[in-house]
Amino acid sequence: MASSNPPELTLGLKLANIEHVSQKLFVLNEHLQKHQEELCKLEAFRTEMPQCVLLLLDAIEVLKNERSKLSDHQSERRSAFKKNTRARLLPSTLSHMAYRYY
């Protein structure tokens, strides 16, 4: 009997295969823009194709949420990097300053 894993509906968007957060954000923004353009095209057919509009709205919301999570994660990493860099530089900077004044 075959495994019963449901197929993954990604429409070509495989963020797990992208290593860098900035590249993931770039890809997410591209997909988000394409979805929003598609939604504009469907605006004229909103009453005839309500399910398509709802699917696109849901997809746009998911993309925005994912972008927000990645942006927050990237900001946290930058803050931690700056904090660690300052912590490493501060003692050596202070020792150089103390050396100059003696």
pLDDT grade for 12, boundaries at 50, 70 and 90: low
pLDDT of residue 78: 76
Please give the share of the chain, as a percent, with pLDDT higher than 90: 41
DSSP 5-64: PPPP--TT--GGG---HHHHHHHHHHHHHHHHHHHHHHGGGTTT-HHHHHHHHHHHHHHH
Higher pLDDT, 16 or 47: 47
Contacts with 68 (C-beta within 8 Å, 6 or more apart), sequence order: none
Q: What are phi and psi of 96, to 5 degrees?
A: -65, -40
pLDDT of residue 36: 96
**Domain range summary for the chain, segments of one domain joined by +:** 20-101
pLDDT grade for 7, boundaries at 50, 70 and 90: very low
Whole-structure pTM value? 0.64
